[in-house]
Structure 1
Amino acid sequence: MDTAASTDRRPRGRNRRGQGERLREDIIEAATRLLDELGDDQALSMRAVAREVGSAATSVYLHFADRDALVLAVLNRCHDQLTQAVDDAEAASDDPVAQLRARTLVLGEWAYQHPGLYKVLHESSLNRRTDMPFKQQLADRTTAAVQRCMDAGLAPADEAATVALDLRAAVHGAVSMRLHQPGHPWPPLEDQIARFLTKLIGIRS
């Protein structure tokens, strides 16, 4: 018997004062890892999450009423991390085009690096059953980035929301094709995004 593994997964005792929030964080982190491996929210079980954190399933239900609530907490966390990553990337330049390129590349690379979470975020049945307002927040921020390029005269004036939607659809399509056809000799994502900015936004290369 693997003593180390047994020790790692031994049941938790009663939480000390202030440790309940730590358990909640552990649950979200465990569910994030499992969802990224599974790529399907329906395949996630609360018992599997409990085993991952070394706790009883009842402890998971104390923090999350059901699986949907837990998955939404994971996706909200992903949104927060993505937003921070995008902000950091945009902060590296004052040029609106460089900022748009940087944020688009961050979003594309995140999806490519976390295929399971990407599928849950965009392809799961949860999308049809639950509102995810944070997805609109990311969309609005992309629209604002496109608008800044237009306002600066670096892209032709147009309906920014429509142009941003075209860009997002193109990037998601590029990422999805990579995930579903990993053996294809795809060009670098950065090169594709540069072409999207030229052809869809009207930015000169």
Structure 2
Amino acid sequence: MTSSPRHTPNRRGEGDRLRQDLIAAANRLLEAGASHESLSLRAVAREVGIAATSVYLHFPDKVALLLAVYQEHFAVLARHLEEAVAGHDDPAEQLHAVARAYCRFAEEHADVYQVMFTLPGPIGRVPREITSEERPGLPAILTFQRVISACADAGIAKITDPWPATLCLWGALHGILSLRAARPTLPWPPMDDLIDAIVATHLEGSTGA
């Protein structure tokens, strides 16, 4: 009588290492041109060199894997923004600094930035409230909101609700980054000049100047 094969548990740390390998493989495929629709767990497993069934030990579905990819990238972005803010005490300088840090991250990590915005939100497109854990970009955007609120408290931006102002500023920065990438032959001014114009318009427009 032949006994059935028994699963051998991973050594300590090997499971976490495989999880990181899967995230890295998914990211490589996305950077190489795979879309969130075309990416498959089978392709990710093949990239890592494991059986497709092994992926399910760490990610129940593709959405969970994509979320993990985005969480890592947005966590790095959030740290960059916090470091930029920490270098200044004046709220206006903080706003300029956080805007520059955001755009610098996007330009220095163009492939990563593209991957971060490949999946339409909300993740999974399910008719329910989306948790904070399912919004990997939220900590970065809340940094913007905190700085904009500080500008309002300092009297340099007459904003009654910082959240719409935050979304408008983020949208303007993301729009400029996307347009510069899509139309590189346009005679674009230096990025710092564009950032200063966006921030100045945002603040001065808020105060009625």
Place the TM-score, normalised by the shorter chain, in its bin.
0.7 to 0.9
- Helix, strand or coil at the partner of 1:55: coil
Quick check: 1:100–1:142 contact (8 Å CA) kept in 2? yes
- Helix, strand or coil at the partner of 1:175: helix
Larger radius of gyration: 2
- Rounded to whole Å, the distance in 2 between the matches of 1:37 and 1:98 is 37
Post-superposition shift, 1:120?
Answer: 4.7
Higher helix share: 1
- Rounded to whole Å, the distance in 2 between the matches of 1:166 and 1:125 is 19
Residue of structure 1 equivalent to 2:5: none
Residue number among 44, 49, 66 corresponding to 2:44 in the alignment: 49
- Helix, strand or coil at the partner of 2:188: coil
Residue number among 94, 98, 102 corresponding to 1:103 in the alignment: 98
- Rounded to whole Å, the distance in 2 between the matches of 1:184 and 1:51 is 41
- Rounded to whole Å, the distance in 2 between the matches of 1:37 and 1:106 is 25
How many residues matched? Answer: 191
Quick check: 1:79–1:134 contact (8 Å CA) kept in 2? yes
Task: For residues 110-148 of structure 1, give each alpha carbon's deviation from its aligned partner in whole angstroms, at most 9, with x where no partner exists.
Answer: 333444544454453454634443334333321211111
Quick check: 1:150–1:156 contact (8 Å CA) kept in 2? yes
Structure 2: stretches of 5+ with no match in the other structure = 1-7
Post-superposition shift, 1:74?
Answer: 0.7
Residue of structure 2 equivalent to 1:88: 83
- Rounded to whole Å, the distance in 2 between the matches of 1:184 and 1:127 is 33
CA gap 1:177/1:199 in 2 versus in 1, 3 angstroms: same
- Rounded to whole Å, the distance in 2 between the matches of 1:145 and 1:103 is 8
- Helix, strand or coil at the partner of 1:64: coil
Structure 1: stretches of 5+ with no match in the other structure = 1-12
- Rounded to whole Å, the distance in 1 between the matches of 2:34 and 2:181 is 11
- Rounded to whole Å, the distance in 1 between the matches of 2:22 and 2:76 is 17
> 1:168 aligned to 2:163?
no
Residue of structure 2 equivalent to 1:72: 67
Q: TM-score normalised to the size of structure 2? A: 0.78
> 1:149 aligned to 2:151?
yes
CA gap 1:20/1:128 in 2 versus in 1, 3 angstroms: closer
Q: TM-score normalised to the size of structure 1? A: 0.79
CA RMSD of aligned residues (A): 2.7
Sequence identity percentage: 37
Post-superposition shift, 1:83?
Answer: 1.1
